[in-house]
Amino acid sequence: MHKNRNTIFRIILAAFLLTLAVVVVACAGMTDRIKSRNELLNFKNATASSVMSEDGQLLGKYFYENRTNITFDQLPKHLVDALIATEDVRFYDHHGTDTRSFLRVLFKSILMNDRSSGGGSTITQQLAKNMFGRTTSGFLPMLSNKISELIMARRIEKVYSKNDILTLYLNTVAFGENVFGIEAASARFFNKTTSNLAIEESAVLVGMLKANTYYNPRRNPENAKARRNVVLGQMKKYKFLDTETADSLSLLPMVIDYSRKTRSEGIADYFLVQVRKEAEEVLKGYNSPDGSEWDLERDGLVIATTLNYSLQDYAVRSFSEHLSIMQRRLEAQYKSSSGKRALEQVASRELARLGLEQRASEMRVSEIFDWNGTYSDSLSVADSLKRALTLLHAGLLAMNPQSGGIKAWVGGIDFTTQPYDQVLARRQLASVFKPVLYAAALEDGYEPCRYLDNDSITLSGFDDWSPENFDHSYGGKYSLSGALAQSMNIPTFSLFLEIGFEKVNEMWRKMRFSFELVNTPSLALGTAEANIREVAIAYSSFVNGGYRLGPWCISSIRTHAGEVIYSRETTDEKVRIMTERTSQLMSAMLQKAVREGTGVSMSSVYGVDFPLAGKTGTSQDYSDAWFAAFNPGLVIVSRAGASSGSIHFNSGSNGSGSALALPLVALTLKKVKQNRSLRESLIMPFPELPPDLAGALDCPDFKDDSLFDIIIDIFGKDEKEYDTPERRVQRRVNSILRKILKKRRYER
């Protein structure tokens, strides 16, 4: 018997020493994973930074891990009850570790490899794991992790209160799909804040902690429902719910309100890209309290912007309303026999340019944008390209012309499938360029009632190039204000001949366009290129007294606790690019363009009858359509067209600026008109012209040539760069012959 006791003793001692050795070896090299009190107190989650509109709406987030930290006061009691009942029912009784559970895990799960024995970790131990992660290297890494978490749990309990531990835990726990923390999970699976969760919803989220993929309510709703009912059963078992409530909740179907609106999937996704660029530039001059640079993806900053959520929403909805109709019309055009042939030719050229001729028949699965809903489909490379070629793109930018603050930024039709920002895409300006030319003329001393020739002209030195009016009319003279309002090409070219390229180029450069102008006759009609952003800056100068400014989008950046890091106290220094007189006259002339000219459908068709100025633009063959509008409180610019200039509408009824681009602005402002508070904040009346300019536009838009005009013009000696006396004589002879023959003049 004595011998047997000695043998048993030796076995127990050997097992103990072996266990001790295993523990010692496992703990070796674990020093770095044990954190000090200060390190625990300074622990900070990687928290998503939030981008807010000027009216307090969340626009999106930047995150390394999709996480939004909240406080204990924001946790509903039933959520805490569900967590404790399911994960650690003795949470308020222990000091970080549960000895019975730990020994069970040590001997069964680790030493005996029995996975059925359960996890055994307390909430505090799980928090230690969430805070500092686990290692997969070294001797017996699982044991090493468990021991370090046990030690850290004890230290965490000394540093933090029980409520703080619960809050930290729920802010750090993973829910899959790169979602971390209860607030982000509530938004993802139920589209609501944590404080508004129902009991059964809290049970779903707590149930996911066991295995966030297997119990994901979107991917595996039946599993999630079964696990939810387990949680409700635990709450009933430990008296957190009465039997009747728990049983009735268990009978409810699994219902979620899934939302992925986290980083850049909302109504201002293109804008978020610009905010990020500006924020990173702004924050270069500021450091966080620990001396490091601020990190948008980890530091939980709150970025307040100038964008108005309602205006942005109206613009996005207007895109859907208008472009969905125009898209169907363009597709119908290219389904006709002639349209199919044209599309085939363009597609063949593109395939050759991209080096894809040999792969044209290959099938690929692609995400396809459709106004009725984006979907996946298998298409050949050639068919996919044809679909992309016939897709209408558009962009819109609205800004405050007095401050430069951006009010709306719609960079395209769908950020996920079409991420290229159309606000920054450079396209031919067409008639939207003309105000630059007219502003240069006013700066040179011209008056709105100065008359310009409307006689046809052919330039033999430029392959017999000849400007034509939109309606093919010619003859007589137009005033500057009438020619601009009616977007007449021949008088505009006459003005270009008179003032010369250098003055136009000087104004263009002052407005800070990036495209270098080329001195060609067609420049006067808008062959220059620019993007929507540049046009908005230029047109702002027509209504703010002649200054170039903006655009910018961030008004302040704060920490999650509310401490101000950056605040934009004033706008950028204004740069004068034209006299106040020129600005006032351009504003008056472009008001006339909306009231009587090419923008008249704003009021006649769409009922937008508040004061506006603006200009339409239609590039060659209807490749691009433009509309730029403004008043003292808002400038708003839109452009629409396919990605390739070879794909376009074949008539002005669909492809002109007034038909394709203007409605995007009109439908947006029509919604603004119905929102009284927004209308009053954005739409302001134009000031009256000062007394010395009050009658500056009081003249007929058009007048016929007098005999004196004809004689002076024939024998005039003032040669222009693209003109000669012989050409002027020929033009006048043609004009006289037309009048003799009583050729009809078509007026717009």
* Segment 246-274, tens digit of pLDDT: 999 999 999 999 876 544 457 999 999 99
Q: Which of 187-191, 318-322, 371-375, 657-661 has the lowest mean pLDDT?
A: 371-375
End-to-end CA distance of the chain: 121
pLDDT at 717 over 50: no
Q: How confident is the model at residue 471 (pLDDT cuts 50, 70, 90)?
A: confident
Q: Give the residue-averaged pLDDT of 709-727.
A: 50
Count CB-CB contacts under 10 A for residue 12.
10
Q: Give the residue-averaged pLDDT of 143-166.
A: 73
pLDDT of residue 557: 96
Q: What is the DSSP letter of 657?
A: I
Angstrom distance (rounded) from CA 617 to CA 470: 11
Angstrom distance (rounded) from CA 24 to CA 18: 10
Q: What is the DSSP letter of 48?
A: -
Burial degree of 662 (CB within 10 A; 0-12, 13-18, 19+): buried
Angstrom distance (rounded) from CA 289 to CA 649: 57
- pLDDT top residue among 636 and 139: 636
pLDDT at 731 over 60: no
Q: How confident is the model at residue 109 (pLDDT cuts 50, 70, 90)?
A: low
Q: How confident is the model at residue 605 (pLDDT cuts 50, 70, 90)?
A: very high
Angstrom distance (rounded) from CA 657 to CA 620: 11
- For 310-324, give one letter per residue: b (16+ CB within 10 A) or e: bbbbbbbebbeebbe
Q: Which of left, alpha, beta for 300 (phi over 0: left; psi -120 to 50: alpha)?
A: left
- pLDDT top residue among 22 and 154: 154
pLDDT of residue 122: 87
Summary mean pLDDT of the chain: 85
pLDDT of residue 67: 72
- Helical H segments across 469-519, by residue range: 480-485, 489-499, 501-510
Q: Give the residue-averaged pLDDT of 176-191.
A: 90
**Residue 713 tokens, joined:** 């013009």
Q: Which of 60-69, 296-305, 452-461, 611-620 has the lowest mean pLDDT?
A: 60-69
pLDDT of residue 740: 45
pLDDT of residue 24: 52
Q: How confident is the model at residue 30 (pLDDT cuts 50, 70, 90)?
A: very low
Q: Give the residue-averaged pLDDT of 2-22.
A: 62
Count CB-CB contacts under 10 A for residue 554.
23
Residue with tokens 């005996």: 112
Burial degree of 570 (CB within 10 A; 0-12, 13-18, 19+): exposed
pLDDT of residue 290: 75
Torsion angle, alpha carbons of 306, 311, 315, 316, to 10: 80
CA 231, 236, 237: angle at the middle one, nearest 5?
95
Q: Domain spans of the chain? A: 67-261
pLDDT at 648 over 70: yes
Residue 533 and residue 397 in contact, taking contact as beta carbons nearer than 8 Å: yes
**Residue 666 tokens, joined:** 């009109």
pLDDT of residue 103: 60
Nearest alpha carbon to residue 185 among 162, 230, 215, 165: 215
pLDDT at 716 over 80: no
Q: How confident is the model at residue 102 (pLDDT cuts 50, 70, 90)?
A: low
Q: Give the residue-averaged pLDDT of 378-407.
A: 95
Angstrom distance (rounded) from CA 374 to CA 415: 11
- For 24-44, give one letter per residue: b (16+ CB within 10 A) or e: eebbeeeeebebeeeebeebe
Angstrom distance (rounded) from CA 80 to CA 74: 11
Q: How confident is the model at residue 377 (pLDDT cuts 50, 70, 90)?
A: confident
Angstrom distance (rounded) from CA 314 to CA 410: 10
Read off the pLDDT of residues 280-332 as tens digits, 9 standing for 90 and up: 999 997 888 877 889 888 888 999 999 999 999 999 999 999 999 999 999 99
Angstrom distance (rounded) from CA 46 to CA 156: 19
E strands, 645-726, in order: 702-703
Q: How confident is the model at residue 2 (pLDDT cuts 50, 70, 90)?
A: low
Q: Give the residue-averaged pLDDT of 489-515.
A: 96
Angstrom distance (rounded) from CA 23 to CA 4: 28
pLDDT of residue 264: 40
pLDDT at 622 over 50: yes
Read off the pLDDT of residues 335-358 as tens digits, 9 standing for 90 and up: 999 999 999 999 999 999 999 988
Q: Which of left, alpha, beta for 355 (phi over 0: left; psi -120 to 50: alpha)?
A: left
Which residues, including other chains, have CB under 8 Å from residue 64's CB and lie 6 or more apart? Answer: 46, 295, 297, 298
Phi, psi of 378, deg, nearest 5: -100, 115
Q: In what order do the strands lie in the sheet with 625-631?
A: 406-410, 392-399, 634-642, 625-631, 613-618
Residue with tokens 């199919």: 340
Q: How confident is the model at residue 572 (pLDDT cuts 50, 70, 90)?
A: low
Q: Give the residue-averaged pLDDT of 79-87.
A: 94
Angstrom distance (rounded) from CA 218 to CA 225: 11
Which residues, including other chains, have CB under 8 Å from residue 257's CB and lie 6 or more apart? Answer: 189, 190, 191, 192
Angstrom distance (rounded) from CA 325 to CA 337: 21
pLDDT of residue 154: 72
pLDDT of residue 209: 92
Read off the pLDDT of residues 206-229 as tens digits, 9 standing for 90 and up: 999 999 999 999 989 999 999 999
Q: How confident is the model at residue 164 (pLDDT cuts 50, 70, 90)?
A: confident
pLDDT of residue 406: 98
Residue 544 and residue 575 in contact, taking contact as beta carbons nearer than 8 Å: no
Q: Give the residue-averaged pLDDT of 427-456.
A: 96
pLDDT of residue 46: 62
Q: Model-level pTM? A: 0.75
Length in residues, the chain: 748
- pLDDT top residue among 69 and 140: 69
Which range is most confident: 258-272, 543-557, 719-733? 543-557
Angstrom distance (rounded) from CA 580 to CA 443: 10
pLDDT at 32 over 70: no
Query: Which CATH number among 1.10.3810.10, 2.60.40.3080, 1.10.3720.10, 3.40.50.2300 corresponds to the domain 67-261?
Result: 1.10.3810.10
- pLDDT top residue among 200 and 34: 200
